[in-house]
Structure 1
Amino acid sequence: MSVLPPLAVSLGDPAGIGPEIIVESWARRREARLPPFFVVGGEQVLEAASRTRGVIRLIGSAEEAFEVFKDRLPVLGTSEAEYTPGEPSAEGAALALHSLAESTRLALLGKASAVVTAPVAKDQLATVGFEFPGQTEFLAEVCGLDQDDAVMMLAGPSLRAVPLTVHCALADVSKRLSQELIIRRARIVATALRRDFGIESPRIAVCGLNPHAGESGRFGDEESQIIAPAIAALVADGHSITGPHSADSLFTPRARKTYDAALAMYHDQALIPLKALDFDEGVNVTLGLPIVRTSPDHGTAFDIAGKGIADPGAMIAALKMAGEMAARRAAHG
């Protein structure tokens, strides 16, 4: 099999911990067995964020990353911003957006085998014209997909969890849920588990929305009116899917052995257990795209940026997972 292109890494907000965890991940490339990657833009930012000077090397094409990666961290492009840890700016947001857009473009062109995105500050991106709730929705738009077809999965060593609704108020969750949404996203998850994670017969468990999954309608009827009928339709279609389960017991060690991914009804229902179990190794994966995209499952952490204490574990996990997913896609055509 031919060698895959290197991974493209977007810089994230240069005032956050993204630059330092990228450089630290490269520093641990051998022990972590990371695939070759390059960063789009921010050569000076990365150099300033590095504990050891002289580890950054500017490259003129993605192909050059293979040779350079052995001894230096390759950076493609000359876009820059001031490096001021903990002090986000419009200039830094513009660099973050350029890096994200160019990384995605290179992946769509086949110049990169996957995109790994460092954390961004959505409020800062809004100041430079970013009109999306998050990077997931941006990627869907750029890839020409409906936003419902780009599915966020949080994945770690202990759990894979998918929130059906993501960046919306808790009061709006029930209004956004539908049988169609559950069926559509569950099918995308099942396909991704087979194609990207190598699980031949994926098992999916579905959370209820209400306490105790509604307790037969005593605490709400979303389970009986929306969730259960969607599950029945998916079972009839041949999927191995169960629920609605009470969310307060679905993430116990015993329960987690019974499924490969959990479908949650809203953001925190998925992210709280994932971060409690796998915070330093949690990866945000976008399913359903024509390209592979992963990201560390944490934010910019402006409060600790530049202090040399940020843990690169989630970035390392995101890089490894991106390489593994890209390899599986290439092997299966």
Structure 2
Amino acid sequence: MQVNKTKVAFIGLGVMGFSMAGHLQRNGYPTRVYNRTPGKAESWCTTYQGQSGCTPAEAVTDADIVFMCVGNDDDVRSVVYGDIGVLANMKKGSTLVDHTTTSAELATELADVCNRQGIHFLDAPVSGGQAGAENGKLTIMAGGDPAVFRHAEPVMTVYASAIEHIGPNGSGQRCKMANQICIAGVLQGLSEALTFAQSADLDIEKMINAIKHGAAGSWQMDNRASTMAQDQFDFGFAIDWMRKDLGFCLEEAAKLGVNLPLTEQVDQQYRQLQQRGYGRSDTSVLIKQFDTDTKPSSST
């Protein structure tokens, strides 16, 4: 394995970050990680023969590019600011890349703070879920200076198969919002179609095979239709996280004066499913809105 001169750090080793940081290390980028739960960092170091820091600031020592993938706006701020945050120890001219799905407001905030410290910033949320991270097939939508993007893009290719520069800072997060709006609508349509097909006593697998190659086809149909019909909803991206994302979508839409009726409807359906105990089930559990059973199934 050829060792690259670019030194990187990765902050956040959740279901996405663990594998993303692993791809960096395995592809020759000396990687130092940080996770708020030390045991997760220790496990990563054992798995990938990398290094970890006791604080975010320690993890980014001498890093040329620092990647982050944590939970929400507050989580990002907790690892960025303060005496032990990444900005306390990042060198001038280095680049901070945030893969967290956050508000567009936070993206522009971080861009301004980084700029004042002579640090470059990209908001670069990802899509593709845990499987995409593990297989190195994520989609990345980035906002920031084009020159900064071109510098970071070759490094990100180790865990992404599609990377697009969208526009200035904040554009990456707004593109991710559009992505989540599409997913919400597709899953609502798929939930209704499967409920209709089951009520009509159609053979679900034959129905899916008949329509998935036509205009109704989608990633969700290919990967979730059969499992939805089989009452299986344990595939990583929980509705607790989706509601966080849809909240960003609805807040941004309100600022833009845009009405998103279907997104609002799906968000409320997810809220009701959370109340029924499905908060940790994946987003395809939306079909349960048509189920009179108020208890989560054993497969969730």
Higher helix share: 2
Q: Considering the TM-score relative to the shorter chain, is it more than 0.5?
A: no
Higher normalized contact order (CA 8 Å, seq sep 6+, divided by chain length)? 1
TM-score (norm 1): 0.30
TM-score (norm 2): 0.32
